[in-house]
Structure 1
Amino acid sequence: MNFRRKIFYTFRLRTISKFTIILILACFMLISIYVTNQNKNHHNEIDVEEPSTELYNFGINIVVLKNVRIDPSKVVGAIGGEDPLKVPNQPESYELLNFEYGFIKTGVKPNIKKEQLHSYETNVIKFLESLEVLDSVDWKTKHYYKEKIVLLVTRVEYANLYHTMTDLYNTFITIKLLNLTINNIHIIIVDGHPLGNLDELWYKLFKNSITRIGSYRYTTDNNNNNNNNNNNNVIPLLPINNEDHLLYINKLVIVPYGYASPLYVDKDIIINNTNNNNNNNNNNMYIEEFKQFLLSSYNLHDTYNICNNNNNGNNNNGNNNDNNSNNNDNNSNNNDNNSNNNGNNNDNNSNNNDNNSNNNDNNSNNNGNNNDNNSNNNDNNSNNNGNNNNGNNNNNNGNNNNSNNNNNIINNNNNYKSIQIIIISRNNYYSHPRNIKGIINRKINNELQLLNKLKQLGFYNSFIIDLINLSINEQFKLIINTNILIGMHGAGLTYTLLLPNTSSLIELFPYYCCQGNKHFIKFTELRHINYNAYYGLSYNDNKQLDTSYIPINEFELLFIRTFHKWKENIEKEKNRKKC
């Protein structure tokens, strides 16, 4: 009996011992994994007290400085945040700030060599050149701001959607690569630009945790107080030392500006994140994550449903409400829907109404548009500025001879008739102090003809949209439900980044400008979406008015080719998802 009991207790003791050893080993393993992850998360180095300067090369160079002081009095240039109408003709050089030696102060000599940086990372180089190394400083006697990690963001072309998107992407990718979160960062905008239409994006995406460097100059520089009493856009949020008027920051990150962005047209940069084993993210440079970041900030989601019976999954009711600002488009749409089945003879009156509404709503496009509409409604009896005889005659013949073919295209694709097609209109508006007349270049002078052609082909859910008339939220809603985006080469095509994954882009180029530009070709390649382009001829351009005529027959062929490619991609995706 004692022998059995002894064996039992021995077995039990061994079992408990083995279990204890396994548990201890598991704990050590978990601790090891945790420590490894903490070492990879650069933001945990915020606990290090000693000042230091680190360069992280992820394809783009990100500089991280610890325990530094920023001296706002060393900034030269505009305060920023003014009403742009109150600073007309303000030089851009005054808004692109200069930083004197001592703008950034640290206790250690940086170990970053200029050769390690790319020549185009100009803003990073400028900040490092302003860095002053203090000889003897007791860093532990000062209170450094630790609540959030501070990012220095430089904007150049702040009023341009394309360049704003490259700046936003660089800020996003910096946060991503350093394993930070939106909630634990604060952005200091280090430029002197006045208010702009796109400022909302910065405050919305980064939850209003943003200040301008000018706000700290405004606080400490008595010479500027009288000039900025009414400027409520320069309110400091970070604590500033009352004795020396410096910002004491525990961790400061210098974000490369947009010209050094992997998104920028001439930068062949691949993101190299050694902390992330997801090769898909590395291949597409987190483009899809960036898209979702933009949408989620506005409480929007990519609602595209490839398996929907209409094959587009659009929230059409919401989009139609968003497009109310473009009355001429809606009227044209309604009239064309009612008159399309009766032939072109019934279209004259309805299109004349469109001309009247367009005359009221789009004053900037009066030259060319009304003439184009009249020539279209009267079966092209005249030839638009005398430049397009061949194009219009061919278009008339094409319309007469190919009407049956066009009808067959639609009849064979009834499930696709409700796809949303957007033509981006470029109209004059005041955007920044150097453009007080609000002149916008590269307009389409016959955009209503293009719209009418789409309606004739049966694509009734087509619209001409002037994005400046929509809020950013409305613009986002519109784009995520767009299947084919059409527009002249310009910043509005930046929204290629937000299109559904099966969408297509048609980019139009005038003869006199930009035919070698590949800004949006790069975006379509990053998004893996279909791209087509029209390259204009000199006799279709009016350089004096900065407008271009797009031949209808060429536009029709280009659109049909794009549509068939879009349809092919839809079918492939449906087969892949087994809809």
Structure 2
Amino acid sequence: MNRRTTLLVRTLLFLFVLNSFSLFLYFITHKTSSSPSSSLQLKKPRTYLTPLSHQTHFSKPWPILPSYLPWSQAPTTAPPRSCEAYFGNGFMRRRDLLLSRGGAGWFRCRHSDTLRSSVCEGGRLRMVPERIAMAKGGEDLSAVMGRREEEELPAFQNGAFEVDGGEVVDREFLVDKKFLDEYVPRGGIDRHTMRDLIAKIRIVRGKDFQCDEWIEEPALLVTRFEYANLFHTVTDWYSAYVSSRVTGLPNRPHLIFVDGHCAAPLEETWRALFSSLRYAKNFSGSVCFRHAILSPLGYETALFKGLTEDIDCYGAPAQELWQNPDDHKTARLSEFGEMVRAAFGLPLNVHRGGKPLFGHNILFVRREDYLAHPRHGGKVESRLSNEQEVFDSLKSWASNYKGCKINLVNGLFAHMSMKDQVRAIQDASVIIGAHGAGLTHIVSALPKTVILEIISSYFRRPHFAYISRWKGLEYHAINLAGSHADTGTVIKELVDIMKSLGC
């Protein structure tokens, strides 16, 4: 018993040191970059700033994550195409575009040569919503049926965002095309909203920097595209999480959606992950940020790039990588999955080993018809034409299985809260389902969870095989000749999986 207690104490100390180290780095890097030097601080404070209100909101602390490893802010370069670089710990090439002078604003970007994107941040940055053309956002779905996507994505006018340049301003715009092409390349994205936002940032003199509202705590600016699709939304969640860690924020930032999408069920997770949530167009006037971070598009994460690039990475425990770093292994996706579970208050000290006391849960992730966004007719594509037959056969098989107790869980996610969906994933020994966005939840699965994907010949895509590999999960696939699955084949595959689990 003493040995187990000692091991527990050492583990807790290890996690405490890692989180403390990250917090220390934040204060060191931000003290030198976002504040004036000591000699400048002796100057008389400027009196021409007249903000109408200073908003102070509670910021949620970061949870202690078992798979957490420090996120480097050192000006070194992660090995190109290494797993650390692919999964976000490689935004190392820093460019200061505006240095703080006399308490004025500042702006910088960190570029990842591997992901070909940048995390940018600035201080004393002003957003002028009336210069952003888009829908208000956050409306009830029933009120905006038929609205076009073009109305929901932002179109920025010059000066939609402005930064306080102090008493002397030597140029109108913060960046030029050369910088954009190098640090925020368009790539294969037709409408790169973050590039367009940065391109329109103007530098204004301090006396012209007037604010109707101030946000004192760090704020994360996010533009979503396919916000109703779980896979694409997870790429946005991951990008936002990485941006928060790369910039060394001591607490979870507040979110500002710089888009005009209506309210959607997936916002439940956005609110759980971060400190608060508001829409850019919901502000009544200009709003100024003491510290704003611009999150890269979800299309620029490894989760999306892995569909077209060979990302040679494999999931491994964080403690193993802490002692023996390996450019072909990663714990970042497991860390993120723990973050999602912790955001919903689910336990992180759950370990699966041996036969569970109440039996093994086999979670069958179902696809359903549902109304997702203003342009959605409520019909999903058929990935498994006899899904109900397969489920009924599995239900009969599970109830008569002799090896051990099996609980077949009907994963009707469209009728479940996000917390309940994540809980079902956490409680599952085996996750089975046809290829579809709902399987993206495996990012939150526990180690030793087994994945069985049924793949129609019309949808042979590697999304979930890759996520399983990057998390170190055992993965199996049944490739169909069409969209109809043979129930006997599915059951045979599950029997083999259960035997491998000692059942």
What letter matches 2:490 in structure 1? F
How far, CA to CA, are the matches of 2:106 and 2:151 in structure 1? 32
What is aligned with 1:549?
Answer: 484
1:88 has 2:139 as partner: no
Q: 1:143, CA displacement in angstroms?
A: 9.3
What is aligned with 1:508?
Answer: 454
What letter matches 1:41 in structure 2? T
- For 1:530-569, list aligned pairs within 5 A: 530-538=474-482, 548-567=483-502
1:212 has 2:279 as partner: yes
Q: More helix per residue: 1 or 2?
A: 1
1:450 has 2:397 as partner: no
Q: 1:57, CA displacement in angstroms?
A: 2.4
How far, CA to CA, are the matches of 2:326 and 2:280 in structure 1? 33
Q: 1:255, CA displacement in angstroms?
A: 0.3
How far, CA to CA, are the matches of 1:119 and 1:127 in structure 2? 13
Q: 1:456, CA displacement in angstroms?
A: 4.2
What is aligned with 2:427?
Answer: 481
Does the 8 Å contact 1:196/1:431 carry over to 2? Answer: yes
Deviation per residue, 1:133-182 (Å, 9 max, x gap): 33x44478879846211211111111111111111111111111111033
What is aligned with 2:157?
Answer: 100
Aligned in 2, Cα 1:43/1:259: closer, same or farther, shift over 3 Å? Answer: farther
TM-score (structure 2 length as normaliser): 0.69
Q: 1:530, CA displacement in angstroms?
A: 0.8
Does the 8 Å contact 1:427/1:440 carry over to 2? Answer: no
Aligned in 2, Cα 1:144/1:195: closer, same or farther, shift over 3 Å? Answer: closer
* Residue aligned with 2:137, SS: coil
What is aligned with 1:369?
Answer: none
Deviation per residue, 1:550-574 (Å, 9 max, x gap): 112322332234334455xx9xxxx
Q: Which has the higher contact order (CA 8 A, sep 6+)?
A: 2
Aligned in 2, Cα 1:79/1:38: closer, same or farther, shift over 3 Å? Answer: closer
- For 1:163-562, list aligned pairs within 5 A: 163-183=232-252, 185-207=253-275, 209-216=276-283, 219=284, 245-264=285-304, 265-266=306-307, 278=322, 283-284=329-330, 286-302=332-348, 304-307=350-353, 310=355, 312=356, 418-445=359-386, 446-447=389-390, 448-458=392-402, 460-511=406-457, 513-515=458-460, 517-538=461-482, 548-562=483-497
Q: 1:523, CA displacement in angstroms?
A: 0.8
How far, CA to CA, are the matches of 2:295 and 2:137 in structure 1? 19
Does the 8 Å contact 2:452/2:477 carry over to 1? Answer: yes
Q: Unaligned 5+ residue runs, structure 1? A: 1-32, 220-244, 272-276, 317-417, 539-547, 571-579
What letter matches 2:111 in structure 1? N
Task: Name whichever of 35-44 and 419-428 sits farther off.
Answer: 35-44
TM-score (structure 1 length as normaliser): 0.61
What is aligned with 1:124?
Answer: 194
1:114 has 2:181 as partner: yes
Q: More strand per residue: 1 or 2?
A: 2
- Provide the identity percentage: 21
1:57 has 2:116 as partner: no
What letter matches 2:29 in structure 1? N
How far, CA to CA, are the matches of 1:167 and 1:535 in structure 2? 29
Which structure has the larger Rg? 1
Does the 8 Å contact 1:536/1:550 carry over to 2? Answer: yes
Q: Alignment partner for residue 33 of structure 2, among 45, 49, 54?
A: 45
Does the 8 Å contact 1:88/1:434 carry over to 2? Answer: yes
How far, CA to CA, are the matches of 1:498 and 1:41 in structure 2? 31
Q: 1:504, CA displacement in angstroms?
A: 0.8
Does the 8 Å contact 1:77/1:98 carry over to 2? Answer: yes
* Residue aligned with 1:211, SS: strand
* Residue aligned with 1:525, SS: helix
Does the 8 Å contact 1:43/1:180 carry over to 2? Answer: no
Does the 8 Å contact 1:69/1:247 carry over to 2? Answer: yes
* Residue aligned with 2:226, SS: coil
Q: 1:41, CA displacement in angstroms?
A: 3.4
How far, CA to CA, are the matches of 2:223 and 2:333 in structure 1? 21
How far, CA to CA, are the matches of 2:185 and 2:495 in structure 1? 44
Does the 8 Å contact 1:530/1:565 carry over to 2? Answer: no
Q: 1:51, CA displacement in angstroms?
A: 2.5
How far, CA to CA, are the matches of 2:413 and 2:210 in structure 1? 53
Deviation per residue, 1:299-347 (Å, 9 max, x gap): 1114533445x2x46xx5xxxxxxxxxxxxxxxxxxxxxxxxxxxxxxx
Aligned in 2, Cα 1:306/1:36: closer, same or farther, shift over 3 Å? Answer: closer
What letter matches 1:182 in structure 2? N
Does the 8 Å contact 2:213/2:286 carry over to 1? Answer: no
* Residue aligned with 2:126, SS: strand
What letter matches 1:551 in structure 2? D
Does the 8 Å contact 1:144/1:250 carry over to 2? Answer: no
Aligned in 2, Cα 1:37/1:460: closer, same or farther, shift over 3 Å? Answer: closer
